[in-house]
Structure 1
Amino acid sequence: MARSTLPKPRNLNICSCHLIYPSAPPTCLPQSLLPELLHGVLPRVAARVSPDQWDIVKTKVKLIALSKIVMIAKGEWDTLASLTNVYTEKIFNKPKGADRWNNDVYFGLQRVASLNHSLIQLCTAIPDKLPVTDAMLSPLLEGLTIQKAIEEKRLFLCDLKILEGLPVRENFVLCVPVGLFFLDKTKQLKPIAIQLFQKPGPENPIFTPLCKTLTWALVKMWYNNADAAYHQALTHLGLTHLLMEGVTVATHRNLSQSHPIFKLLAPHFLYLIAINTRGLELLISDGGWVDKTMNFGNKGLFALISRGFHTWRMDQEGTLPNDLKNRGLDDMNVLPCYHFRNDAILLYEAISKYVKAYVSLYYPNDELLQKDSEIQGWAAELVKERNGSEGGVGILGVPGNGKLETRQQLELIVTCIVYTCSISHASTNFPQYEEYAFPPNYPGLMRGRPPTDATADVQERDILESLPDRPTTLDIMIVTKILSAKGTKSIGDFEVQYIFDPQAREVVDEFRKDLLKISKKIKERNLYRNPPYEYLDPEIIPNSISI
């Protein structure tokens, strides 16, 4: 196998490493080094990701002017209608969540076809910490007992116990909820019980749809506030942006640009380091967007990222079929409205097929792989313990555990990386404006205290006092609008061509054909979905974490 004579890239510290690597020094790439890195490693990134794109103040002024949005600069919301009326047809369109924020069917869909789609699991037994009874739930189970609903695989759990004990901003609260969901006879998923904290008790009751309408609405908002914390810290930032940044650096450290695996992976790393450096610094810096618009602020965000990274495994959570099996959702007949799973598995299988065909061209047997010093060094660094600039990425559950013996191990690793940079990121990034931009629908920030009485009669004023004020709402709208914009080519249509070997090009062409078939199939599915789930149509998915 040909090896490049180009010098290896110098060792570079991962610019955001201190967020998930507590032992690493909290230093980022110096700005003086950034142009060199962008020029030498990621072609044309500097021109693509301008500093002005992430100047929130400039962007706010520009978008307000373009949209002609009408919003008083200060103050609280007077009515829910006054919040709805701020949206315009241009730029700040009315988010989809604005019309369905208090709809239980849509609240169920948020678990299976929205930002945070990989937390739900099949309920095989009611946990002791959620002491629901048949008497409590019988009006909601269509004549079934709890046990019968479990046997019919119609009960599902979402447990946010990982949030327990996180630091939060002063005078703010972050719930640690557990939710129980029921698949009704029309195949729609609905919430039937929410407990806002883990330990049951008189001041931590179980809320159900039988509560007063706005009481139940407020409880769902507090649940979604916790869900949003998990989404931003783990599903989005930690386990796509930051995790793949480490993989990107390890790839450039160990694989020459002529290496076939470098050529396969490079399109999926495009713009990632630039986005993380220029964008995330402003969003997650002290006093930045997260500190202003989320209950747990930066300290809670970093703590949650660290927790998640130390439990996430590439061969489990990072391998879609295994992740689905672990959550009891690998059977497509269970939870048929799980649109994310139904579409994502098609894409995972297409990527896996593509990677296997490509790898077999360059490694016709395992012995060649075992003797490839570059790929072995790369695999070792993916596993190597984190230790600042001299450490590795520290990923758990990497097939082969740092020493690749079989092609299958390499295929699983590469499939996970390509899937994470494209499918996983797209599914958790691009719905952000539609979900977050109408705060009652999916509030990153909730003020005051969550309800503690299931018999309470919450009023609209109580809802409004829990919401972020007008300026904070505008900041949420602006940043989620930026994050939801797709500005690069779709998966399989690479911005920069790295693969020129005729046989490899045939493999790429076959991958593109598979993606076209999947796109057609998803479009057909969406004709019968209400609402459609469009975020995993290959036409919409970028190759890389480019925003």
Structure 2
Amino acid sequence: MPRFRVMEVLHFTSKMKNTEKGSDRAEDGGEVESVCCEVDEVKKMKIRGRVRLMKKNMLDINDFMASLLDRIGEMLGKRVSLQLISESQSDLGNGIRGKLGKEAYLEKWITTVTSLRGGEAEFPVTFDWDESLGIPGAFIIKNHHHGQFYLRTLTLEDVPGCGTVKFICNSWVYPTHRYKYDRVFFSNKAYLPCQTPAPLQKYREDELVNLRGDGTGELKEWDRIYDYDYYNDLGFPDKGPEYVRQVLGGSKEYPYPRRGRTGRKPTKTDPKSESRLPMLSLDIYVPRDEQFTRTKFSQYLAYSLKSIVQVTLPEILSLWDKTINEFDSLDDINRIYEGGIKLPKVNLLRKVKERIPWTMIKELVRSDGEWLLKFPMPDVIKKHKSAWRTDEEFAREMLAGVNPVVIRRLEEFPPRSKLDPQVYGNQHSHIREHHIEMNMDGLTINKAIDSNKMFILDHHDTLMPYLRRVNSTKTKTYATRTLLFLQADGTLKPLAIELSLPHPQGDRHGCVSRIFMPADEGVEGSVWQLAKAYAAVNDSGFHQLISHWLNTHAVMEPFVIATHRQLSVLHPIYNLLHPHLRDTMHINALARQILINAGGILERTVYPAKYAMEMSAVVYKNWVFTEQALPADLLKRGMAVVDLGSPNGLKLLIEDYPYAVDGLDIWYAIESWVRHYCSFYYPTDDQMLGDTELQSWWSEIRDVGHGDKKHEQWWPKMKAVEELIQCCTTIIWTASAFHAAINFGQYPYAGYLPNRPTVSRQFMPEPGTDEYNELERNPDKMFLKTITAQLQTLLGVSLIEILSRHSSDEVYLGQREDSEDWTRDDEIREMFGRFRDRLFEIERNIVERNEDGRWKNRRGSVDVPYTLLYPNTSDYSRVGGLTGKGIPNSVSM
């Protein structure tokens, strides 16, 4: 191609400027024309591109015809077009948007071999490009097929002045008639709003407007709208009074984080409640790009177990009509892991196949065809079948188990309640010195408190206001307090458990409490095992409803929605946070449909039953965003103190606190990465203050997403870069490490229900009663009759097995889905590499600590190493499954 010399261009430009009307113009006309022709010849060029996409599954019955029509359509003409957009030249006639290149079409659609089940494939595309338009900064894609496809990337080769230009898309593109706007994708270069090239600015703004929607109408699968709503879809009032549930959010009594709007019509019975999908449907709306990958969703079909239970519970119950729905011994429970439970000889397939697809049934069935329920062996009983019953393990799991985020230092004795005495009377603890001092290694209460040796697991105030209602159901339980003593070897020893009930004469009379102390033998030992079980029931419910659901899943969803609504994909903070938002809206939508809804699996297997979600809304009143930061949480619970002499200015009061030790390593690694990243884009506070998208994002999180708490004074003002650093670190910590610590240990510890029972069905036996005599004769049988029943156990274990599994395509902390292509900035990639290297180092440290015999809380008597905060950054095989380790980037399960 001929090249035009610089001096000739300057000469041409000068002559054009000097041209006057009349003869001069005519005189120069021929030269102008010839030069223009040569310029046109110079500027025209070809840019080769490669598009990577995944076609829709042709074997999907709903899309078979669309796939067939698409192939026929390609024979008749090009069906997928792309237009490059200049990032340096504007089109004044198109709202000052970047100039467009000519349309180009995907090539070899038919001849490129792809799996009928769908799969990624690469298609060439050739663009005619005018070199004067500079570098392409975005492109428009139009899908004229009948079906959608997943657009992964567009890569341009040999772009003048740039070389390779990469567009990371990762989005489903539906047929053009589904959109009222063009689908636009931007290159992998981050810009603050004020730094965005002018030709791309309107495209940037338009895209955010499209994602926000107008707040009306029922949303369909091809809609890309992120909007807010209350939790008004948990109940099903049209089905009857038993299925009425409180609307959560929008009131002082029941505040709640917002969830994604679906726009479904209200119920006939209650206009404030949203109608529900059919019970077995998993087709609840979330933006298509927020849905699980095909790999993950296929693995996730085990979630259908929950739907099966809701529809076929009467049929399943009938299979046990010759029993009393009880495990008769611990050996019976062990058989569900060692050999399974053989169902009665009833044709279960015949009974349910009419209503449940075979792929859903087979989770209940052994692959060899026997009708058995069999589960993997939980870690807590793999090496020692009875070590879970020890006091050592009972206490250790408060520091290194599935819910190590509640225990706190005891600062006053007796423990005091914060419940309003005008409503609930005296709710202070009835534990006294004589109950516990004989087990405190010779220390007095005051000395032990002053020496930071007294700790408490306190669920009293959370449960007491609901206890009358909870105990009006099949549940029979207590509000519990557990006192513990820190021993010289760094382990905790239980001192006493307090079981409390509301006063029979009314709430204003306070509570009635019983105190139980440790015992090893006889009926006293059996009573003590029951007392620990009641405490574990409280902790299990709090774990599922508050630590897990509320403090990760629910509180994160507003951050997901606001990020997509207010931060462009070009925004550097969007690029920082996006990996930590993956799948959260989808898992939450599925939970509302089949888990936390009225009559859902959570209500059937966890003790608060129909009051579960309402209780979580009351607890949300005390939620504070800044206290979700790990250092702030440890200080609040008194598990750490400020110590300027320590490397991070924090000293743990229990040195061997595995969750906190590993967690602080992860926290400070995240914080360092976020600090370098944010400081790169915001050298000064003023630049951050002037970022309109960022300020709108934070305002929307506070005022809308968490709107019931918008008047709280603790919200960061987002006026300094340091505030942004702490907020982003907290978001990433919550979505990744915190969620991993409280989710993926569920099956290893709670997969054995006697260790973490979720329900108690009868009160502590009183001396002289038949129940007390039975406890004395057969303590294990009485224990099992008190805790979770057989059917609830099977359902509960099924659920937590699913929740504890990593998908095989999981992306872990320190990894990016698009590897090195997610950003064009070399310095940012280097920063991220240092973050990953630090995580490698943390992994090695965790392994070393777990092997160090000095740290007794890291393995305990059950010999289960603490690996829940092992990042798994170095494991790129992505095997998935019940690994008991690994920190996914997001709340994705």
**TM-score, structure 1 as length reference:** 0.88
The one-letter amino acid paired with 2:301 is D
- d(CA) in 2 for partners of 1:175 and 1:132? 15
- State the distance in 1 between where 2:867 and 2:711 align: 31
> Which of 394, 413, 429 is equivalent to 1:107?
394
For 1:385-424, list aligned pairs within 5 A.
Answer: 385=704, 394=710, 399-401=715-717, 404-424=718-738
Mapped partners of 1:34, 1:353: distance in 2:
40
- Show the counterpart of 2:513: 204
* Structure 1 residues 225 and 453: CA distance shift in structure 2, 3 A: farther
Percent identity, aligned pairs only, is 27
Alignment of 1:202-351 (within 5 A): 204-210=513-519, 212-297=524-609, 299-316=610-627, 318-331=628-641, 332-351=651-670
3-state SS in 2 of match to 1:87? helix
Separation of aligned partners in 2, 1:373 and 1:241: 28
| Cα shift at 1:185 | 2.3
Of structures 1 and 2, the one scoring higher in RCO (CA 8 A, sep 6+) is 1
Of 444-453 and 100-109, deviating more is: 444-453
Partner of 1:532: 865
Matched, 1:508 2:829: no
- Offset at residue 309 of structure 1 (A): 1.9
Q: What are the superposed Cα offsets for residues 451-482 of structure 1, whole Å, 9 maximum, x if unpaired?
A: 56799673333212113332221111111100
Distance in 2 (CA, whole Å) between partners of 1:36 and 1:210 is 53
Note the 1:7-18 alignment, pairs <5 A.
7-8=207-208, 9-11=211-213, 12-14=226-228, 17-18=231-232
CA distance in 2, matches of 1:46, 1:395: 41
- Give the drift of 1:435: 2.4
Contact 1:398 1:413 in 2 (8 A): no
SS of the residue 2:485 aligns to = strand
Instruction: Letter of the 2:716 partner, please give it.
Output: G
Compared CA separation, residues 16 and 536, structure 1 to 2 (3 A) = farther
Distance (whole Å) between structure 1 residues aligned to residue 388 and residue 230 of structure 2? 34
Q: Which residue is 1:21 aligned to?
A: 249
Q: Does 1:87 align with 2:337?
A: yes
How far does residue 385 in structure 1 lie from its aligned partner after superposition?
5.0
Please give the secondary structure, in 1, of the residue aligned with 2:455: strand
Q: Is the 8 A contact 1:15 1:277 kept in 2?
A: no
Q: Which of 82-91 and 263-272 deviates more?
A: 82-91
Q: Which residue of 2 aligns with 1:164?
A: 464
Q: Could you say which structure has the higher strand fraction? A: 2
Structure of higher CA gyration radius: 2
How far 1:334 sits from its partner (Å)? Answer: 1.5
Matched position secondary structure for 1:172: coil
Q: CA deviation at 1:47?
A: 5.6
The CA distance in 2 between the partners of 1:454 and 1:102, in whole Å, is: 26
2:337 partner SS: coil
Whether 1:520 aligns to 2:826 is: no
Name the amino acid aligned to 1:97: V
User: What aligned pairs does 1:323-472 form with structure 2 within 5 A after superposition?
Assistant: 323-331=633-641, 332-385=651-704, 394=710, 399-401=715-717, 404-451=718-765, 458=775, 459-472=779-792
The code of the aligned residue for 1:365 comes to T
CA distance in 2 between counterparts of 1:338 and 1:537 reads 15
Alignment-mate amino acid for residue 204 of structure 1: S
Pick aligned residue for 2:410 from 123, 128, 133: 123
Q: Which residue type is aligned with residue 445 of structure 2? A: I
Matching residue of 1:177: 480
Letter in 1 for 2:796: I
Structure 2 gaps, min length 5: 1-191, 214-225, 233-246, 265-276, 310-319, 340-365, 367-373, 417-427, 504-509, 642-650, 853-857, 873-885
Q: Separation in 1 of the partners of 2:511 and 2:579?
A: 54
Q: Deviations over 1:157-205 (max 9, x none)?
A: 1211122222426232342211101112222112111112277999521
1:124 and 1:203, CA in 2 relative to 1: closer, same or farther beyond 3 A? Answer: closer
Q: SS in structure 2 opposite 1:378?
A: helix
CA pair 525-454 structure 1, distance change in 2 beyond 3 A: farther
In 2, the alpha carbon distance for the partners of 1:309 and 1:57 equals 26
Q: Distance in 2 between matches of 1:290 and 1:149?
A: 40
> Which secondary structure does the structure 2 equivalent of 1:315 belong to?
helix
- Equivalent pairs, count: 529
Cα-to-partner distance string for 1:41-81 (whole Å, 9 max, x where unaligned): 43764663357342116899xxxxxxxxxx99963111122
Partner AA of 1:147 in structure 2: N
Assess if the C-alpha contact under 8 Å between 1:282 and 1:289 holds in 2.
yes
Taking the TM superposition and a 5 Å limit, the aligned residue runs for 1:23-102 are 23=251, 29=262, 37-39=286-288, 41-42=289-290, 45=293, 48-50=296-298, 52-56=301-305, 75-88=325-338, 92-98=375-381, 99=385, 100-102=387-389
Q: Summarize deviations over 1:377-413 as a string: whole Å, max 9, x none.
A: 01101210569xxx68859566434xx2100111111
1:481 aligns with 2:805: no
Matches of 1:104 and 1:26, distance apart in 2: 41
Q: Distance in 2 between matches of 1:412 and 1:220?
A: 38
Give the whole-Å Cα distance in 1 for the aligned partners of 2:284 and 2:446. 61
Contact 2:402/2:745 (CA < 8 Å) preserved in 1? Answer: yes
Q: Deviations over 1:485-523 (max 9, x none)?
A: 012122111224543322211111111011111111111
8 Å CA contact retained: 2:487, 2:493: yes
Q: 2:457 is paired with a residue of what secondary structure?
A: strand
CA distance in 1, matches of 2:570, 2:837: 26
How many angstroms apart in 1 are the aligned matches of 2:481 and 2:831?
Answer: 45
Q: Distance in 2 between matches of 1:300 and 1:58?
A: 20
Distance 1:397 1:319, change over 3 A: farther
Q: Aligned partners of 1:115, 1:122: CA distance in 2, in Å? A: 19
Deviation, 1:151, is 2.1
Q: Deviations over 1:344-379 (max 9, x none)?
A: 011111111111100011101000100101000011
Change over 3 Å in CA distance of 1:105–1:500 after alignment to 2: farther
Q: Is contact 1:16–1:242 with CA below 8 Å preserved after alignment?
A: no
Deviation at 1:304, TM superposition (A): 2.2
Whether the 8 Å CA contact 1:46–1:274 is kept in 2: the answer is no
> What does residue 65 of structure 2 align with?
none
TM-aligned CA deviation for residue 130 of structure 1? 2.5
Q: TM-score, structure 2 length as denominator?
A: 0.55
Separation in structure 1 between the aligned mates of residue 536 and residue 332 of structure 2, nearest angstrom: 22
Given the alignment, which residue of 491, 514, 528 partners 1:188?
491
Work out whether 1:541 is the aligned partner of 2:857: no
Mapped to 1, the partners of 2:497 and 2:303 lie a distance apart of 37
User: 2:260 touches 2:557 (CA, 8 Å); kept in 1?
Assistant: no
Flag the 1:232–1:155 CA change in 2: closer, same or farther, 3 A. Answer: same
Compared CA separation, residues 43 and 414, structure 1 to 2 (3 A): same
List gaps (5 residues or longer) in structure 1: 61-70
